[in-house]
């Protein structure tokens, strides 16, 4: 058996699942509080920093190949 990978999809998954830094204190935020699919294709994450309480969002387009 041979392992096949789809690099564009893998890069999309990594960007979707990777932690981000707080825009205020730069502490790591590991998991979003809420995630949602957005119209037109994409995912939006809502974050809240445990260190300082800052709220922020990130959005990623979904690509299909």
Report, as an integer, the average pLDDT of 35-49: 90
Whose CA is closest to 25, among 52, 50, 55? 52
Report, as an integer, the average pLDDT of 9-29: 75
Whose CA is closest to 13, among 43, 36, 41? 43
Report, as an integer, the average pLDDT of 35-42: 87
57/65 Cα distance (integer angstroms): 26
Whole-number pLDDT of residue 13: 53
Whole-number pLDDT of residue 50: 95
User: Which one has a higher pLDDT value, 45 or 60?
Assistant: 45
Using a pLDDT cut of 70, give the percent of the chain over it: 69
33/57 Cα distance (integer angstroms): 10
* Domain parsing of the chain, residue ranges: 27-65
């Amino acid at each position: 058996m041979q392992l096949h990978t789809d690099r564009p999809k893998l890069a999309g998954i990594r960007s979707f699942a990777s932690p981000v830094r707080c825009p205020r204190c730069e502490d790591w935020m590991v998991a979003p509080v809420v995630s949602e699919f957005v119209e037109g294709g994409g995912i939006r994450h809502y974050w809240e920093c445990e260190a300082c309480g800052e709220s922020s969002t990130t959005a990623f387009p979904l690509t299909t190949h």
